[in-house]
Structure 1
Amino acid sequence: MTRGGLPALLEAVLDVGTDLAPHRTLQRLVEHAAGLTDARIGVLGVVDPGLGRPDGPHGTPDPDPGPGTDSAPAPDPGAPDPGAPGTCPYTGLYTVGMTEEDRRRVGRLPEGDDPGGRSFLGVPISVGAEVFGHLYLTGKRGGPFTDEDLAVLRVLAAQAGIAIGNARLYETARQRERWIEGAAAVTTALLTGEPAADALVTVAERARLLAGAAAGVVLQPTTGGGMEIVAASTPHDPDDLVGTAIAPGSPVLEQLLGGQPVFVEDSATDPRMTTPVRTRFGPSMMLPLRSGGKLIGTLALPRRRGGRPYTPVERQLASAFASQAALALVLADARRDRERLAVYQDRDRIARDLHDLVVQRLFATEMMLESTRRRAGDAPAAGLLDRAVDELDSTIQEVRTAIFALRQPPAEAPRSFRGRVLRETDGAAALLGLRPSVRFTGPVDALVTGPVADRLLAALRGALAGAHRHEGVTAVGVEVDAAHELPDGRPGVRLTVTDDGTGDDGTRGTTSTWSSPR
């Protein structure tokens, strides 16, 4: 120890151990080490455990290297670059007394004894049982390194290991806090009424930001047994990701169906990855979204090619986030179902009120006017009463048609003509007390579209409302013939509605037919 003695060492120990930022701690460590030992050059290399640790001349130095042991990467102008094959896999380099060119050329650890004997000094930096990095000094001013220099270096390295361990704990706590806050934000967003598609994008977006991923995607099972990306979040356009599918039988899919997460070091080269977009991504996590033992989807978080692999802590936190997100999605679906049910119940109540109160009053008024018309002897007055009765009858028909429309689900209506017809008849079953039979002839979905379909559906609603007015109805039949030929020979479509009830004129059985060109 050549500068400041023990007070300087204590000051350095305190300085190294009081900062929770790892990068600043490591830079201060190498600066203090060089200053206390009067070394011209200091190098601190951080080892990536995922790439393996240097071994022998390329590995972990002897845990107790003597002052005469060459255990440092000399800034040799002829040394290979760190990324070259066979070089020390440093993921971070902190230096004193080196130029950028020197830093780029730090490579292999020197082999054998240095002629100077004590010209290099090196110690490992350990965090618990893990070797985190290596600290090397060279170029001591005024002579070779001493045992006292080695002791100083060991004290600093031990303190740095403690500081790095504390910094890791602090960073892990901060990561947990961010993921917990993110999961809470997703749950809040999903339970405030977002549509299903937006909810999935919310999950993908928040997870991508938390994980520092290049993309966040949500996949859902397909009818064919595979999985398809249904929502995506990327810094750029996510449309090219949506629709990408994992084929049935994929090893990745089998693992996900079993409830196990999939962790991939390099999506582009891993044989388990089969999607066409895999080539643009590197490390990735695929986390199952499960509810009640059933796989409802998958959350995938790929990083860019060459990106940093996910740490065990990140994997654990992301898995917990996925579990929370799956629960939030299920709760959001349940909430939407409850809201939809409340709407159905409200519409049903309105329909009952219209039927039990409004229609009955209108019908009673129509009967009184009809009786008055029969007693009226004056022809003009009778004509006015006839028109009033007709207007009331049309109003009753329109109100009943509105009642049938209120019976229909307000959301997710079918788009095909066949589905729309079945929706009308299903809604009419609640008021008729029976389910009408329905028969289709010809390719109705392909041929009956647009205004023609709208006119026929309006006619169908009117006919079903009329059937409800008839007494003793026990059967209602609906037939749609898309292969009908009009009298003039043009192709058309015909709607026929029959019932076996008794009409207003006392006749038994009613048949209503509508035809339209296609």
Structure 2
Amino acid sequence: MHREGRTAPGLPRLLDAVLGVGTDLELRGTLQHLVDSAVELTGARYGALGVLDAERTRVTDLYTAGLDAAARERIGRLPDGHSGLLGALVREPRPLLVPSVRADIRSVGFPAGHPAMDTFVGVPVRVDAQVFGNLYLTEKQDGAPFTPDDLSLLRVLAAQAGIAIGNARLYETARLREHWIEGAAAVTTALLHGGSAEDPLMTVADKARLLSGAAAGIVLQPTEDAGMEIVAAATGPGDDAADLLGTAIEPGSPVLTQLLGGEPVFVEDSATDDRMTTAVRSRFGPSMLLPLQSGGRLIGTLALPRRRGDVPYTAVERLLATQFASQAALAMVLADGREARERLAVFEDRDRIARDLHDLVVQRLFATEMMLESTRRRAANAASAAPGMDELLARAVDELDSTIQEVRTAIFALQQPPADAPTTVRGRVLRETAGAGALLGFAPSVHFEGAVDAVVPEPVAKQLIAALRGALAAAHRRAGVTSVQVRVDATAHLPDGRDGVRLTVRDDGEREAGEREAGEREAGEREAGERQAGERQGSDAGESQGGRAETVVSWQAPLR
């Protein structure tokens, strides 16, 4: 017992240390303050707090006092708590007082560049009855060994620090949870109400990267061969995500098996984990791979890798990221549904416009054309007709006929089924013919000659698609069509010798009266037209090999 009126040795310093440890709500600040307070309380030269992993088998983070940046660099890799006195305290978390480290059989020595240390004292730090980490002190500044009183002071400080750490962890968890909730809400809002919904995968990847502090946010989607492929990647400034795109996880991979089963995968070090098989794994360390699923359907995987050497994800971060992935997947499904509804509304409106054009505009134009044609014939037979009247009426009839053709072509285009617009010439030709097949009741045959995608420039491709659309629309309105043949020849030679592309559309339908007259005029102009260089389009009628009437529409243009 201490004499009445006298203060126990070190008690004022202990009280100051306890009060100081509990003043910081930020966890990292609290941990560093604990090490500094312990060093000051005991007069130690060096101090360290080793934070243990969730399994409490190794040190995952180390806070030090008494070592500057240069000293830490000389030491190199910091201890992981698997061996030596640090490992003994990890395996048996109880107070440890060692008068001489060099004489203790549990000691394994120090790495090159490590400061000389001989006296040692260590205590476990518990949070909610669980070991959070261990506090180590070495070498008193006055050269004396650590005493049982030093050990008692350190135990009291560790007990009070456990309470402060618990409060700081609760505060950090609450703040981190709020951070992730706000991020999930922002992603949902962007996908359902904003322009970001046009690229939902990149929206999810980039937001998840920022929330988790990862080096990259990556989205993978299942492939046809039961593998997975990176389809979206978001990285920080200075990092290139292009080399990540297209990276695939081969079928049968342990990671893939777990993901396809709807289970998240947590990796401590991507570069060394045998489960990771991709070529880019060497760039990353701790990683999370989270399934994006909704309604039991897997739509992709969200991967959040950190750089090598970064701190592993905590249990709280893993839980919050998993919840974020679930909400993001639901938002993506809802965004797809919203986009599908908007597309449906657009196509329903286009279908209505097409019906109105067909039922009202085309019929009125056709009736007007018939009236003009009848007037032209009466004027041609009348002796008192004004000079040039017949030619003027004929031109008006031709203009109306051309207008009818253009309106019918527009109707045909409006009735095309919804599909993602292809970018290649072949893809666009096949899309047009597939749409025509839905209206004709059979699929037109398509044949390509030459490297169509490589040699046909975009301006010529647009003209070719317009000519094809018009020819297919004309075939659609002809009665008795049972066959349509489309041929695109990128090796054609124009009459002037230049390289060109030629489109030929053949069908076996019955031609309308106006088309027959137009075909007769075009046949008469064919010879002169073929002598001209440049674009040309025309149609003709003849007999197919089977004896059935055949209509041929031909279009050509130079490639340069």
TM-score where L is the length of structure 2: 0.73
Corresponding residue SS for 2:184 = helix
What displacement does 1:231 show?
A: 1.2
What displacement does 1:149 show?
A: 5.3
Residue 505 of structure 2 is aligned with which of 496, 501, 508?
496
Note closer, same or farther for the CA distance 1:396–1:168 as it changes in structure 2 (3 Å cut).
same
| Distance in 1 of aligned mates of 2:172 and 2:515 | 85
| Distance in 1 of aligned mates of 2:228 and 2:249 | 5
> Could you say which residue in structure 1 is the equivalent of 2:67?
none
| Distance in 2 of aligned mates of 1:72 and 1:356 | 102
2:333 equivalent to 1:315: no
Code of the aligned partner of 1:511: T
| Distance in 2 of aligned mates of 1:163 and 1:485 | 83
| Distance in 2 of aligned mates of 1:178 and 1:304 | 22
> Could you say which residue in structure 2 is the equivalent of 1:511?
551
> Could you say which residue in structure 1 is the equivalent of 2:545?
none
Residue 479 of structure 1 is aligned with which of 485, 489, 493?
485
Corresponding residue SS for 1:238 = coil
Note closer, same or farther for the CA distance 1:295–1:30 as it changes in structure 2 (3 Å cut).
closer
Corresponding residue SS for 1:301 = strand
CA RMSD after TM alignment: 3.9
What displacement does 1:164 show?
A: 0.5
Q: Deviations over 1:455-487 (max 9, x none)?
A: 5544443344444555xx243421124579889
- Written as runs of structure 1 = structure 2, the 5 A alignment for 1:57-136 is 57-58=85-86, 59-60=88-89, 65=95, 69-70=97-98, 84=111, 105=115, 122-127=122-127, 128-136=129-137
Unaligned runs of 5+ in 2: 1-5, 60-80, 517-547
> Could you say which residue in structure 2 is the equivalent of 1:15?
20
What displacement does 1:326 show?
A: 1.4
Note closer, same or farther for the CA distance 1:284–1:375 as it changes in structure 2 (3 Å cut).
same
Note closer, same or farther for the CA distance 1:439–1:374 as it changes in structure 2 (3 Å cut).
same
> Could you say which residue in structure 2 is the equivalent of 1:424?
432
Code of the aligned partner of 2:52: D
What displacement does 1:446 show?
A: 4.1
What displacement does 1:501 show?
A: 3.9
Q: Is the 8 A contact 2:445 2:485 kept in 1?
A: yes
| Distance in 2 of aligned mates of 1:456 and 1:32 | 80
Code of the aligned partner of 1:358: V
Note closer, same or farther for the CA distance 1:28–1:357 as it changes in structure 2 (3 Å cut).
same
Corresponding residue SS for 2:193 = coil
- Written as runs of structure 1 = structure 2, the 5 A alignment for 1:64-463 is 65=95, 69-70=97-98, 84=111, 105=115, 122-127=122-127, 128-136=129-137, 139=140, 150-194=151-195, 198-235=199-236, 236-376=239-379, 377=382, 378=385, 380-408=388-416, 412-417=420-425, 419-428=427-436, 434-441=440-447, 443=449, 446=452, 449-450=456-457, 454=462, 457-463=465-471
Note closer, same or farther for the CA distance 1:446–1:492 as it changes in structure 2 (3 Å cut).
closer
Q: Deviations over 1:367-397 (max 9, x none)?
A: 2222222332215323222221111111111
Note closer, same or farther for the CA distance 1:485–1:24 as it changes in structure 2 (3 Å cut).
closer
Note closer, same or farther for the CA distance 1:455–1:24 as it changes in structure 2 (3 Å cut).
closer
Q: Deviations over 1:160-193 (max 9, x none)?
A: 1100011111111111111111111111122234
Higher mean C-alpha displacement, 325-334 vs 3-12: 3-12
Note closer, same or farther for the CA distance 1:504–1:277 as it changes in structure 2 (3 Å cut).
same
What displacement does 1:336 show?
A: 1.6
Corresponding residue SS for 2:388 = helix
Note closer, same or farther for the CA distance 1:464–1:509 as it changes in structure 2 (3 Å cut).
farther
Code of the aligned partner of 1:25: T
> Could you say which residue in structure 2 is the equivalent of 1:88?
none
What displacement does 1:234 show?
A: 1.7
Q: Deviations over 1:231-273 (max 9, x none)?
A: 1122211111112111222222122111122211211111222
What displacement does 1:140 show?
A: 8.3
Code of the aligned partner of 1:157: A
Q: Is the 8 A contact 2:89 2:122 kept in 1?
A: no
Higher mean C-alpha displacement, 213-222 vs 434-443: 434-443
| Distance in 2 of aligned mates of 1:370 and 1:129 | 98
Note closer, same or farther for the CA distance 1:461–1:241 as it changes in structure 2 (3 Å cut).
closer
Note closer, same or farther for the CA distance 1:41–1:405 as it changes in structure 2 (3 Å cut).
same
Note closer, same or farther for the CA distance 1:233–1:421 as it changes in structure 2 (3 Å cut).
closer
Unaligned runs of 5+ in 1: 86-100, 115-119
Q: Is the 8 A contact 1:494 1:514 kept in 2?
A: yes
What displacement does 1:130 show?
A: 1.0
Q: Is the 8 A contact 2:25 2:167 kept in 1?
A: yes
Note closer, same or farther for the CA distance 1:453–1:25 as it changes in structure 2 (3 Å cut).
closer
Higher mean C-alpha displacement, 272-281 vs 501-510: 501-510
Q: Is the 8 A contact 1:229 1:245 kept in 2?
A: yes
> Could you say which residue in structure 2 is the equivalent of 1:94?
none
Corresponding residue SS for 1:345 = helix
Corresponding residue SS for 2:272 = coil
| Distance in 2 of aligned mates of 1:31 and 1:383 | 104
Percent identity (aligned):
59
TM-score where L is the length of structure 1: 0.79
Q: Is the 8 A contact 2:123 2:155 kept in 1?
A: yes
What displacement does 1:295 show?
A: 2.1
Q: Is the 8 A contact 1:232 1:242 kept in 2?
A: yes
Higher mean C-alpha displacement, 357-366 vs 139-148: 139-148
Corresponding residue SS for 1:286 = strand
> Could you say which residue in structure 1 is the equivalent of 2:521?
none
Code of the aligned partner of 1:475: V
> Could you say which residue in structure 1 is the equivalent of 2:51?
47
Higher mean C-alpha displacement, 455-464 vs 138-147: 138-147
Corresponding residue SS for 2:180 = helix
